[in-house]
Amino acid sequence: MALTLYTNKQSRGVVVDWLILDLGIEVERIEVAYGEEMKSAEFLKLNPFGKVPVLVDGDL
């Protein structure tokens, strides 16, 4: 399983992190900074709203 969680420690992404921890699921965590990074063209491809959390599961 290749899950990737794009998140920020000061966001509601901590709730997703908590669930992932409880379920014992392996995930790669990528910290995304508020501001420019979250609104960058690259990140907007993952979430057009430019917000975290974003969970990527393979092609989904």
Ligand X SMILES: N[C@@H](CCC(=O)N[C@@H](CS)C(=O)NCC(=O)O)C(=O)O
Q: Are 53 and 6 in contact (CB under 8 A)?
A: yes
> Least distance in Å: CB of 36 to ligand X?
11
- Name the β-bridge partners of 4: 28, 56
Contact residues: ligand X, CB under 6 A = 11-12, 34, 38, 50-53
* Residue 16, token pair as written in the block: 């997703």
User: Mapping DSSP to helix (H, G, I), strand (E, B) and coil, where does residue 30 land?
Assistant: strand
Closest chain position to ligand X (CB): 51
> Least distance in Å: CB of 27 to ligand X?
16
> Least distance in Å: CB of 16 to ligand X?
8
